[in-house]
């Protein structure tokens, strides 16, 4: 992590090296500790201190981008020349009104926790050791990872916009294994105090040991499913790529394309890009320096907006959504804080309301490219799949393969819990998914997975 | 920027202590350039340079790893101290003894070969090359997107270890491809050449891009994408399936490469990627496929992106069978996993960059060619489906149950390719599928495909691997 002064000095030197009337730059420094464990022992343990600078220049309305991890004057000059060369060869951006210049204040958000920044690998190892010991008492072994990070994120552009934020995160995943069965628990938060590794071990153990003596199979067919937040997170990550991104909207492959303002999903489905909810994983600005605000992607089933960087907001003549997480990326915007509104139920009430259904902990290896226009996806269940009969969880199911159109499924949401949980995503250091547990009717199960 | 050997060896020497069993230092400089055109415009132009240095230590039974992007002497020495602190933490919560397989020290230099340096080609020429390929594809109002991409990649790497190894390796790669997306109402079809997701990738220079002949293929994939809009849906049911080389390469990746990674089999990757149905007690005693199925790991193939001189344990690149005549005979291993099955490392441990811990990765994992020309396989098929080019992929966490969607399919009736079919999807379980293989195409249909985006590890590491495959036939496969 670097201070605001040091970060802005590096950015100022990069913008100076750009030698163009319009340029912006992002400087990110991350101290990242990851402890991976398997068979109830830490087997990979790392500490990475990295920093990178991305410089974007605009030449005659065209964009060029270059990135480096070295910041001496020679390297900055070289990077600037690479970016200028790229811009000279790129065509002008359609309808581009220039880089962000308004500079409205960014929201004041709690993104940093001192105790998390000071947490060292030894302290984490002691907590993990305690979890392993407790698992031995209950006859399970653990696999998973616990990552903590401290980062500084700074942006600046030639219009005088400057942003800086410090950020911490703690993200843990625990899988408990017992007698051929497994259970899963995950948490992520800005503060490590909100990630209790022992509690996660207990939650995963409960799932791994539940109904292990009552296995059943289920024939293929359409079933009511109760999807916990990690399962929803997997399909939302795909929706982000195939439906919510500026690129998929522009190229017409998104089911959003040409349908803004239409009721395409159920009225109880609201999904927002929400980095300003402090109970989620708050962050105050995007990497173009635009202040974050809550942006409805889907509101009561009506599709409202894709997630856009400024270039594509201009190109599509849509309101900017402050969704740039990589300068000049091919996605042209992405929702890194995907939040689904909850309902008024509890998970137990959803289970009780189900005559015949499946309770799903998480999905594995989802793929959303089968038919993007209907968001047809496939995947398997994993780490805790259970049969519900007459409102009771009665048996443990094997992993199941499913293939399902999400545009259809999200028209059949029959209930949502009030409680929502944060789920981290490996490619997203800024946010993740905030989702309730949902009950969806008629989910298509193909086979044992 | 390249740190001197003397400094790396001095830092290694400074780590010596009573409980230090092993240490290594890697440095990488990774250069990338990406050009994408879309609908007649330059859509994306970027250049990246990433410098990283990582120190890995084994103290007692605890591994420690520390990395920095700030490659100067002070940072390197600080990273070495952090690695020791991390190893001390690992010892608090590591339970299994770490056993390393033996290795000889090597001092060597290795570089992949190229004729025309990718960076010697001006950006303008790369853009023109893509526009010449994609512009003729435009015009039909249903052709929503035509796009082309060219990627350049070079990684320089130094490796020094406490057993006296010092390696200097450089890999240079290029990738390229084109894409056509046709949309008509609610129907969308995508055709790519030679492969989706940036095309094909080889450890070569600009000569590879020229050899792709993108401009000659553009109209073909445009026409196929448009024809697919109106083509009948591939039927559901059980069919004899002929899988083309590109799709079979991905099938090999998902259902042969990943399950033979020993770290997965030992449970070390369960938290993210998953485990493997291939357990050590099945070695030499499990029929994985028919006798025609020979899967070889070969990190020595010139010009392929799964090749290298030495892995990131300092073990020389090797060629060996994973599946021999249909029987499961070996895993991909590293120094710290091979002893678990009583073997030595076969040199498959790599990291995305020096900022990441090396883990077992695929190299070039190939289905060896058979003896039957593909035309003869088709002629010999009474009723079946031919599928090619991956569109969608999914497999369970033990690598058993899979489902693949392809861009294109053709009906086979009485030994002839017939109607074009859209949205083919086939599914099965790994051993059943490979045991049903009754014809493997000959060398003429065998091709090696570069996949630069294999994800594994935590933090996720994207690795560059490759797969050689011919076309092959599988009996009685379920189409969804």
pLDDT tens column, B267-287: 999 988 899 999 999 999 999
Of B69, B86, B96, the CB nearest to A47: B86
Residues of B within 8 A of A151 (CB-CB) are: none
Which CATH superfamily hosts domain B5-230?
PmbA/TldD superfamily (3.30.2290.10)
Q: Which residue has the tokens 């045991």?
A: B435
To the nearest whole Å, the CA of B417 is away from the closest chain A CA by 24
Query: Residue A269 pLDDT > 80, yes or no?
Result: yes
- pLDDT over 80 at A449, yes or no: no
As a whole number of angstroms, the distance between CA B439 and CA B369 comes to 10
Which residues does A424 contact at the CB level (< 8 Å), separation at least 6?
A169, A171, A186, A188, A432
Band of residue A368 on the pLDDT scale cut at 50, 70, 90: very high
**Spatial contact of B243 and B472, defined as CB atoms under 8 Å apart:** yes
**Given CB atoms, is B49 within the 8 Å cutoff of chain A?**
yes
Spell out which residues of chain B touch residue A36, defining contact as CB-CB under 8 Å.
271, 458
Residue A425 above 80 pLDDT?
Answer: yes
Nearest residue to A90 via CA among A54, A62, A65, A115: A62
Nearest-angstrom CA–CA distance, A389 and A354: 7
CB proximity B92 to A under 8 Å: yes
- A chain contacts of residue B186, beta-carbon cutoff 8 Å: 373-374
Element (DSSP H or E) covering residue A435: strand A428-448
Local structure of B48: helix, strand or coil: strand
Write down the domain spans for chain B.
Answer: 5-230, 237-479
A47, A64, A425, best to mutate vs chain B, most B CBs in 10 Å: A47
Indicate whether A372 pLDDT > 80.
yes
Cβ contact, residue pair B69, A51, below 8 Å = yes
Residues of A in contact with B90 (CB under 8 A): 35, 42, 45, 121, 125
pTM of the model: 0.96
Mean of pLDDT values over A86-94: 90
Q: Residues A214-252: pLDDT tens digits?
A: 999 999 999 999 999 999 999 999 999 999 999 999 999
A46–B67 C-beta distance less than 8 A? yes
Q: Are the C-beta atoms of B135 and B276 separated by less than 8 Å?
A: no
**Residue A426 has what pLDDT?**
84
Mean pLDDT of A273-289: 97
Extract the residue ranges of chain B whose pLDDT is less than 50.
none
Query: Which residue does chain B place closest to A148, by CA atoms?
Result: B459
Of the candidates A43, A367, A399, the beta carbon closest to that of B63 is on A43
For residue A344, the distance in angstroms to the closest alpha carbon of chain B comes to 32
Which 8-state DSSP code applies to residue B422? B
What's residue A91's pLDDT? 86
pLDDT value at residue A427: 84
Cβ of B271 and A446 within 8 Å?
no
Phi, psi of B275 (to 5 degrees): -105, -150
Instruction: Tell me the nearest-neighbour CA distance from B92 into chain A, angstroms.
Output: 6
Name A29's Cβ contacts closer than 8 Å, sequence gap at least 6: A1, A2, A7, A49, A50, A51, A151, A152
Four-CA torsion B296, B299, B302, B308, nearest 10 degrees? 170
Range 173-202 of B in CB contact (< 8 A) with A: 181, 183, 186-188
Residues 439-458 in B contacting A (C-alpha not used; CB under 8 Å): 458
Give the separation between CA A204 and CA A210, rounded to whole angstroms.
10
For A354, the 3-state DSSP assignment is coil
Q: CB distance A67–B46 less than 8 Å?
A: yes
The answer to whether the bond into A298 is cis (omega within 30° of 0) is no
CA distance B376 to chain A (A): 31
Chain A positions touching B66 (Cβ under 8 A) are: 46-49
Interface check for A181 against chain B (CB to CB < 8 A): the answer is no
Residues of chain A neighbouring B62 (CB-CB closer than 8 A): 42, 45
E strand or H helix that includes residue B212: helix B206-212
Q: Which of A38, A173, A380 sits opposite B401 (nearest CB)?
A: A380
Q: Average pLDDT for residues A52-71, to the nearest whole number?
A: 95
Residues from chain A contacting residue B86 (CB–CB below 8 Å): 33, 45-47, 121
Phi, psi of B314 (to 5 degrees): 85, 20
pLDDT at B429: 97
What is the set of domains in chain A, with CATH numbers?
4-207 (3.30.2290.10), 214-448 (no CATH)
Residues A369, B95: C-beta atoms closer than 8 Å = no
pLDDT at residue B98, rounded to an integer: 96
Q: Where are the beta strands (DSSP E) in A283-332?
A: 295-299, 302-303
pLDDT in tens, A93-129: 999 999 999 999 999 999 999 999 999 999 999 999 9
Q: Find, in chain A, the residue whose alpha carbon is nearest to that of B94.
A: A41
Give the closest-approach CA distance of B460 to chain A in angstroms. Answer: 7
Tell me how close the Cα of A111 comes to any Cα of chain B, in angstroms. Answer: 22
Contact at CB, B45 and A145, closer than 8 angstroms:
no
Q: What is the mean pLDDT of residues A188-192?
A: 96
Tell me the nearest-neighbour CA distance from A437 into chain B, angstroms.
Answer: 22
Cβ within 8 Å, pair B70-A62: no
Q: Do A66 and B271 touch (CB under 8 A)?
A: no
- The band of A179, judged by pLDDT with boundaries at 50, 70 and 90, is confident
Give the B window 142-171 contacts with A, CB below 8 Å.
Answer: 144-145
A431 close to B (CB below 8 A): no
Cα radius of gyration rounded to whole Å, chain A: 23
- Tell which residue, B354, B143, B111, B343, has the closest CA to residue B228: B143
Q: How far is Cα of residue B456 from the mean position of the Cα atoms in its chain?
A: 11
Instruction: Give me the interface pTM, i.e. the ipTM.
Output: 0.95
Cβ-in-10-Å burial (0-12, 13-18, 19+) of A61 comes to: middle
Structural element, H or E, at residue B290: none
Asked if the Cβ–Cβ distance from A45 to B127 is below 8 Å, we say no
């Amino acid at each position: 992590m670097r201070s605001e002064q040091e970060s802005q000095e590096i950015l100022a030197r990069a913008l100076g090296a750009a030698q163009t009337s319009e340029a912006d730059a992002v400087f990110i420094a991350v101290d990242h500790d990851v402890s991976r464990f398997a068979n109830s022992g830490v087997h990979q343990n790392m500490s990475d201190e990295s920093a990178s600078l991305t410089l974007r220049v605009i030449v005659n309305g065209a964009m060029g981008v270059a990135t480096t991890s070295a910041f001496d004057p020679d390297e900055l000059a070289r990077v600037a020349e690479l970016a200028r060369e790229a811009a000279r060869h790129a065509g002008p951006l359609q309808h581009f009104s220039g880089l962000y210049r308004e500079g409205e204040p960014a929201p004041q958000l709690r993104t940093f926790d001192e105790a998390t920044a000071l947490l060292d690998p030894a302290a984490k190892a002691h907590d993990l050791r305690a979890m392993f010991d407790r698992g031995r008492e209950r006859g399970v072994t653990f696999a998973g990872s616990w990552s903590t990070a401290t980062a500084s994120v700074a942006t600046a552009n030639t219009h005088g916009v400057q942003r800086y934020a410090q950020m911490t995160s703690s993200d843990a995943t625990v899988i408990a294994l017992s007698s051929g069965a497994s259970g899963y628990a995950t948490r992520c938060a800005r503060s490590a105090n909100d990630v209790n590794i022992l509690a996660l071990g207990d939650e995963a153990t409960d799932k791994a040991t539940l109904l292990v003596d009552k296995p059943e199979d289920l024939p293929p067919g359409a079933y009511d499913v109760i999807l916990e937040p990690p399962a929803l997170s997997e399909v939302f990550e795909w929706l982000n790529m195939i439906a919510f991104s500026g690129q998929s909207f522009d190229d017409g492959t998104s089911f959003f394309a040409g349908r803004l303002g239409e009721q395409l999903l159920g009225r109880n489905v609201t999904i927002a890009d929400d980095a300003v909810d402090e109970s989620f994983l708050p962050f105050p600005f995007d990497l173009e320096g635009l202040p974050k605000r809550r942006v409805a992607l889907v509101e009561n089933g009506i599709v409202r907006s894709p997630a856009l960087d400024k270039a594509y907001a201009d190109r599509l003549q849509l309101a900017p959504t402050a969704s740039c997480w990589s300068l000049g990326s091919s996605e042209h915007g992405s929702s890194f804080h995907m939040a689904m509104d909850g309902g008024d139920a509890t998970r137990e009430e959803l289970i009780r309301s189900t005559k015949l259904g499946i309770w799903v902990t998480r999905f594995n290896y989802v793929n959303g490219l089968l038919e993007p226009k209907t968001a047809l996806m496939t995947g398997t269940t994993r780490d805790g799949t259970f049969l519900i009969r007459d409102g009771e969880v009665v048996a443990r199911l094997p992993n199941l393969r499913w293939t399902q159109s999400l545009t259809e499924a999200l028209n059949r949401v029959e209930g949502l819990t009030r409680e929502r949980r944060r789920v981290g995503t490996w490619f997203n250091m800024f946010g993740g998914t905030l989702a309730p547990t949902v009950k969806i009717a008629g989910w298509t199960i193909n086979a044992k997975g | 920027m390249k740190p001197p050997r003397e400094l790396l060896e001095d830092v290694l020497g400074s780590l010596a202590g009573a409980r230090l069993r092993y240490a290594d230092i890697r440095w990488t400089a990774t250069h990338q350039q990406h050009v994408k055109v879309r609908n007649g415009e330059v859509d994306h132009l970027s250049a990246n340079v990433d410098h990283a240095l990582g120190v890995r230590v084994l103290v007692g039974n605890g591994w420690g790893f520390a990395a920095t992007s700030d490659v100067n002497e002070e940072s390197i020495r600080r990273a070495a101290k952090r690695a020791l602190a991390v190893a001390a933490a690992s010892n608090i919560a590591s339970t299994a003894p770490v056993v390393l397989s033996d290795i000889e020290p090597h001092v060597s230099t290795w570089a992949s070969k190229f004729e025309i340096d990718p960076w010697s080609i001006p950006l303008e020429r790369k853009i023109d090359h893509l526009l010449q390929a994609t512009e003729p594809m435009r015009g039909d109002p249903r052709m929503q997107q035509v796009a082309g991409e060219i990627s350049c990649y070079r990684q320089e790497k130094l490796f020094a270890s406490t057993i006296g190894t010092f390696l200097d390796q450089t890999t240079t790669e290029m990738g390229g491809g084109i894409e056509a997306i046709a949309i008509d109402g609610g129907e969308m079809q995508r055709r790519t050449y030679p492969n989706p997701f940036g095309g094909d990738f080889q450890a070569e220079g600009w000569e590879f891009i020229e050899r792709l002949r993108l401009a000659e293929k553009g109209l073909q994939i445009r026409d196929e994408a448009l024809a697919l809009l109106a083509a009948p849906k591939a039927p559901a049911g059980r069919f004899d399936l002929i899988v083309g080389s590109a799709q079979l390469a991905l099938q090999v990746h998902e259902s042969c490469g990943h399950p033979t990674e020993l770290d997965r089999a030992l449970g070390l990757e369960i938290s993210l990627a998953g485990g493997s149905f291939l357990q050590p007690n099945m070695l030499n005693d499990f029929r994985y496929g028919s006798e025609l199925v020979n899967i070889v790991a070969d990190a020595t193939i010139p010009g392929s992106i799964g090749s290298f001189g030495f892995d990131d344990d300092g073990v020389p690149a090797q060629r060996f069978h994973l599946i021999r005549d249909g029987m499961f005979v070996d895993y991909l291993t590293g120094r710290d996993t091979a002893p678990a099955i009583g073997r030595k490392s076969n040199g498959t441990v790599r990291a995305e960059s020096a900022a990441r811990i090396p883990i077992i990765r695929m190299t070039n994992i190939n289905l060896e060619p058979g003896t039957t020309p593909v035309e003869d396989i088709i002629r010999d098929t009474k009723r079946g489906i031919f599928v090619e080019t991956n569109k969608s992929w999914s497999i369970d966490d033990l690598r058993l149950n899979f489902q693949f969607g392809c861009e294109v399919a053709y009906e086979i009736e009485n030994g002839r390719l017939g109607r074009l079919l859209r949205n083919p999807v086939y599914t099965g379980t790994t051993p059943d599928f490979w045991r049903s293989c009754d014809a493997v195409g000959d060398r003429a249909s065998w091709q090696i495909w570069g996949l630069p985006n294999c994800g594994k590890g935590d933090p996720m590491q994207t690795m560059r691997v490759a797969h050689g495959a011919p076309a092959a036939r599988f009996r009685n496969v379920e189409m969804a």
